Amino acid sequence: MTTIYDIAKKANVSPMTVSRVINNKGNISEKTREKVEAVIKELNYIPNSAAQSLNLKKTKLLSLIITDITNPFFTKVARGAADKANQMGYQLILCNTDEDYEKESDYINALISKRVDGVIIAPTGDPSIKNLKKLIKNRIPFTLIDREIEEISCDRVLGDNYEGTKLLLQHLIDYGHKRIAMVHGPLTVSTSKERYQAYIETLKINDLNMDASFLVETHYKQEKQWNGIDHLVTLPLADRPTAIFAANNFIAIKIIKSLREKKIKVPEEIAVVCFDDLELFSDFDPFLTVSSQPAYDFGYTGTQLVIERVEEVGPADYRTINLKPELVVRKSSGTPIN
Amino acid sequence: MTTIYDIAKKANVSPMTVSRVINNKGNISEKTREKVEAVIKELNYIPNSAAQSLNLKKTKLLSLIITDITNPFFTKVARGAADKANQMGYQLILCNTDEDYEKESDYINALISKRVDGVIIAPTGDPSIKNLKKLIKNRIPFTLIDREIEEISCDRVLGDNYEGTKLLLQHLIDYGHKRIAMVHGPLTVSTSKERYQAYIETLKINDLNMDASFLVETHYKQEKQWNGIDHLVTLPLADRPTAIFAANNFIAIKIIKSLREKKIKVPEEIAVVCFDDLELFSDFDPFLTVSSQPAYDFGYTGTQLVIERVEEVGPADYRTINLKPELVVRKSSGTPIN
DNA sequence: CTGTTAGCGCATTCAC
DNA sequence: GTGAATGCGCTAACAG
C-alpha cells in the first residue's frame, strides 16, 4: 500500500506537504503542488481513511438503521438517505433490524465501535430508548425518522399519523361506512400507537360504535404476520365490518389476500385502506387507497439533519420536521354505499 | 472518549493486558481478566475500530454496490448481503450507482480510501472493468453478482440468462405465439446482452422470423425509460407482435402501462412476460409471467464468497456460482392461442 | 511556503 | 502471565 511517505520521497518534499496538497490546506506553491499531484497520480495513491479518522475523529461514515429494507417505504427512505449521504461525501452503512430490538442493539454497538459520525434511525420501538441513550453517551448525533421516541434530545423527521389516519377514515365514513375494523402493528411502535389512537378518536368524533373485536394486532413485517381477521369475516353480515383500515401497506396486502382466499370481494364486500403506498404496484394497477407518505424525504431530510449536526452548522435547537401524508383514493375503498 | 489507557489505569494493569482481554489473546489470569472486564463495563468502553484498522489492516467493512436499490430484485439482494455480512460480524456500506458509471467510479475511490475488506458488486456495465481493475490493484477482493464482466479474476454469482430467456420464450411459443418482440436494456450490460442473444437464438431454433423492428432498446431503471413500443402497436394487426418479452421487471411494468393507455389488453391482445419477479405485487395479484431469480441468494452467497476471500479460507481457485431461474406462469402470458 | 515533532488508539514484538 | 517500546498512516501545532 502506498502511503504519504512514498509520495513525499518521490516528490522530494515532506509528508506534510503531501498532506497539504491532498487536503487543499495552507499555502503551497503551484510548482510543488503540481509535482506532488503528478506523483500521486503516478502511484495511484489514495489516502487511508482509517489513519485520517484516527486523528481527525471524523470517519465520514453515517449509518441508516431501518426495520425492514424489504418494505418499499423503507427502500425509498434508503434511497433518499444514500443520495444525500453520497452528495455530501459520506458513506452509508445500512443496518436492517428486522423489527428486532436485539439486532438493533448489536448494530448500535458496532456503529459506536466504528465511530460513525452520525446515525439516521427508525427505531424498532419504545425500548430503543436505551440504544439512543447509548448513542448520546458516545456523542454520536442521530436523527429519528418515521418513529417517535419521546423525551430524547435529537432532530426528528416524522410523519403525521393522526392526519393520515383521519384522512383515510373520514374518506370511508364519507362513503357511508359505519363498521370499520383496524388491523395495527405492535403498540410499542409509535406509528402504530398513533394510528391506533387516531382511529379511536376519529370514530368517536363521528359517533361510530367502537367494537373491541374490531381492533386486531399483528406485525408490520410480512414474515411475522398473521391475518388475524378470521373472527371478523365469520360474523353475520350485519355485524361484519364493511371496511378495514390496515396500519401499513404489508398488513393491507395480507388482509386482501386473506379476504380473497375466503372469496370475499374487495372492495365490493369489504373495503380496505392503508398507510403508505406501494408505488410500484399502484403504478401498475391503481388499486389500493392509501395515505401516502413522502418516504424519500424521510431519508433525505433525516440525513441532511444529522450531517448538519455532525458538521456543527445549523441551529442549536433540535428540530422536528413534519412530513404530511396525502390521501390517494383508488379502487380498494370502493364507492359510496347505501 | 474512553481508551484502552483509561481502562488500564483504572484496572491497574498495562494497556497491553486490556488489549489481550478484549481480543481474547494470550494467557491471562482469571483475576486480571475479571478485573479488566469489570472496568470495561463500568466505563462503557468500546474499542475504536479506526485504531484497530490502522495496524491490523482489516476494517470489517464490506460494500455492496448495486445499480438500483429501488428495484425489488436488488432490494432482496441487499437483504441477503446485509444478513450474511451481519452474521459474520461485518458492516455493510451500501452504494447505489443508478446505473451510472461515474457514480460507480466515485464509490470505488471512496471505498478504497475506506479500505473496505471486500466488495460485492453488480457493475453498471462493461466499462466497469476499469473499476474492478482498480480494486484488484488495491488488493480488495470482490465478487461479481448478477452481471458478468469477462476476463477478470474473481468469484462470481451469476444467473442463467440464456436459460431464463428460453424458458419464457418457449412458453410463449408453446402457446402459439409467432411474432414476439423484445424490449431490452443497454447491451453494455451482460444480463441485457445475454437475454438479447438468447432471444435471437431461441427464435432461430424455432424457425421464427426475426424482425429488426421487434427489437427495442430502453433502460433498466424507471427514471430513464421510454416505452419504445409505439411503432409496434401502430402496426396493422397482422404484423403486430402478439407477445412482448421484457428484459426486466421494470421494463414490463412500463410496457403494460403503455399498452393500457393505448387500450390494448394484456394478455388478450398482447401477452407480456419478463425477467425477474415482483413478488410483492405477484403475491397480491398473480399477474406477471416471469423468469424468477433467487435474488436473496445473489446477495447472500456473493457476500459469503468475498468473506471467504477476505479471511483467506476457501479454495484458491475462483468460483462461479450459477443460480437457476424459474419459470412462473401467470396471467400476463394469457392462454394458448389459435 | 515548507519541514519537524508529536500523537490519535491500538496491537505486535520482544522483554521480563 | 504481564509490561515497555514501537509503528500503523495521517495531520495539527509549531518552527523556520
Cβ of residue A58 lies below 7 Å from strand D: no
pLDDT digits (tens, 9 = 90+) for B244-255: 999 999 999 999
Q: Picking from A9-18, A93-102, A320-329, B23-32, which range would have the lowest pLDDT averaged per residue? A: B23-32
Considering only CB atoms, A53 lies closest to which of B50, B256, B281, namely: B50
Q: For residue B19, what are the contacts with CB-CB under 8 A and spacing of at least 6?
A: B4, B25
**Which residue's CA is nearest to the C1' of nucleotide C2?**
A17
CB < 8 Å from A in window 266-285 of B: 278, 280-281, 283-285
**pLDDT score of A1 more than 90:** no
pLDDT digits (tens, 9 = 90+) for A264-298: 999 999 999 999 999 888 877 889 999 999 999 99
Cβ of residue B139 lies below 7 Å from strand D: no
Q: Which residue is closest to B56 within chain A, CA to CA?
A: A50
Q: What is the CA B204 to chain-centroid distance, rounded?
A: 31
Distances B165 to B158, B232, B276, B277 between C-alpha atoms, Å: 14, 21, 11, 13
Structural domains of chain A in order of their starting residue, each with its CATH number = 4-56 (1.10.260.40), 61-159+294-324 (3.40.50.2300), 161-293 (3.40.50.2300)
**pLDDT score of A75 more than 80:** yes
CA count, 13 A, side-chain hemisphere, A219: 13
**Which residue's CA is nearest to the C1' of nucleotide C8?**
A55
**pLDDT score of A227 more than 80:** no
3-state percent breakdown (helix, strand, coil) of chain A, nearest 5: 45, 15, 40
**pLDDT score of B338 more than 80:** no
pLDDT digits (tens, 9 = 90+) for A13-28: 999 999 999 999 888 9
Phi, psi (deg, nearest 5) at residue A155:
-80, 155
The whole-number pLDDT of residue A82 equals: 97
The whole-number pLDDT of residue B232 equals: 85
**pLDDT score of A83 more than 80:** yes
Sheet strands (E) in chain A: 61-66, 91-96, 118-121, 142-145, 155-159, 180-184, 215-217, 243-246, 271-275, 289-292, 320-323, 326-328
The whole-number pLDDT of residue A321 equals: 98
B 50-109 residues, CB < 7 A, strand D: 51, 54-55
* Dist CA B59 CA B90 (whole Å): 9
Pick out the nucleotide with least CA–C1' distance to A1.
Answer: D9
- DSSP calls for B127-164: GGHHHHHHHHHTT--EEEESS--TT--SEEEEE-HHHH
Please choose, from the candidates B138, B201, B278, B9, the residue with its C-alpha nearest in 3D space to the C-alpha of residue A75.
B278
Pick out the nucleotide with least CA–C1' distance to A33.
Answer: C1
- In Å, what is the separation between the CA of B18 and the C1' of C14? 18
Q: Any CB–CB contact under 8 A between A116 and chain B?
A: no
pTM: 0.95
**pLDDT score of A211 more than 90:** no
The whole-number pLDDT of residue A269 equals: 95
Distances A111 to A61, A75, A172, A308, B55 between C-alpha atoms, Å: 9, 21, 44, 19, 19
Distances A309 to A117, A128, A296, B1 between C-alpha atoms, Å: 9, 21, 20, 18
Tell me which nucleotides of strand C come within 7 A of a protein CB: 1-5, 7-13
What integer is the mean pLDDT of B185-203?
A: 97
pLDDT digits (tens, 9 = 90+) for B81-105: 999 999 999 999 999 999 999 999 9
- DSSP calls for A181-215: EEEE--TTSHHHHHHHHHHHHHHHHTT----GGGE
Cβ of residue A26 lies below 7 Å from strand C: yes
CA count, 13 A, side-chain hemisphere, B162: 4
Binary contact (B91, A78; C-beta < 8 A): no
Element (H, E) at A82: helix A72-87
Binary contact (B280, A93; C-beta < 8 A): no
- In Å, what is the separation between the CA of B23 and the C1' of D4? 20
The whole-number pLDDT of residue B283 equals: 80
pLDDT digits (tens, 9 = 90+) for A35-67: 999 999 999 999 999 999 998 999 999 999 999
Whole-number mean pLDDT of chain B?
94
Cβ of residue B27 lies below 7 Å from strand D: yes
